Chains A and B, each alone.
Chain A
Amino acid sequence: MTGFEYARPESLEELFALLRAHGENARLLSGGTDLLVRMKNDPAFADGFGEASGNPLVVIDLKRVSGLDADISESGGRIRIGARAVMTDLIENKRLQELFPALIEAARVVGSVQIRNRATLAGNVCNASPAADTAPPLLAHGAILNLVSGSGSRQLPLDEFFAGPGRTVLAPGEIVESIDLPLPTEATGSAFGRLTRRHGVDLAIVSICCVVRESGDVRFAFGAVGPRPFVVAARRDAAVEDLVKHASPISDLRASDEYRAAMLPILARRALNAAKMRLQESRERRGARD
Chain B
Amino acid sequence: MTVSITVNGTARTFDVQTHHTLLRSLRDQLNRSGTKECCAEGECGACTVLLNGRAVNACLVLAVECDGEEVVTIEGLSTNGQLDPVQQAFVETGAVQCGFCIPGMIVAARYLLSSNPHPSENEIKEGLAGNLCRCAGYSRIIDAVELAAKRGQG
Contact = CB atoms under 8 A, between A and B. Distances in A.
Q: Do A and B touch directly, given a CB cutoff of 8 Å in the complex?
A: yes
Contacts of B45: 112, 114
Q: Could you say which interface size class chain A belongs to?
A: 20 to 34
Contacts of A46: 19
A52 interface: no
B117 interface: no
Contacts of B130: 111-115, 201
A40 B55 contact: no
A29 B61 CA distance: 10
A61 interface: yes
A61 B68 CA distance: 14
Given A3-B18, A113-B55, A32 B48 contact: no
A45 interface: yes
A118 interface: yes
A111 B60 CA distance: 13
A36 B126 contact: no
Contacts of B41: 36-37, 40
Contacts of B51: 117
B95 interface: no
Interface string B58-99: 011110110100000000000000000000000000000000
A2 interface: yes
A4 interface: yes
Contacts of B153: none
A163 interface: no
A39 B19 contact: yes
A46 B54 CA distance: 27
Contact of A117 (B17, B43, B54, B67): B54
Nearest to B107: A114
Contact of B17 (A3, A8, A113, A201): A3
Contact of A2 (B17, B21, B40): B17
B127 interface: yes
A76 to B, nearest CB: 31
A111 B42 contact: yes
Interface residues of B, number: 32
B38 interface: no
Contacts of A2: 17-18
A33 interface: yes
A182 B64 CA distance: 37
Interface in A47-62: 48, 59, 61
Nearest to A116: B130
A186 interface: no
A35 to B, nearest CB: 9
Interface string B112-154: 1000000000000011011100000000000000000000000
B57 interface: yes
A118 B56 CA distance: 7
A114 B19 contact: no
B108 interface: yes
A117 B60 CA distance: 12
B60 A37 contact: yes
A149 to B, nearest CB: 24
A45 B19 contact: yes
Contact of B56 (A3, A29, A39, A114): A114
A8 to B, nearest CB: 8
A6 B64 CA distance: 8
Nearest to A58: B18
A4 B1 CA distance: 11
Contacts of B65: 29, 32, 61, 63
Contact of B43 (A5, A29, A45, A201): A201
A40 B59 CA distance: 10
A134 interface: no
Closest 3 CB pairs of A and B: A112-B130, A3-B19, A3-B18
Interface of A: 2-6, 8, 29, 32-33, 36-37, 39-40, 45-46, 48, 59, 61, 63, 88, 108, 111-115, 117-118, 200-201
Interface of B: 1, 17-21, 40-43, 45, 48, 51, 54-57, 59-62, 64-65, 67, 108, 111-112, 126-127, 129-131
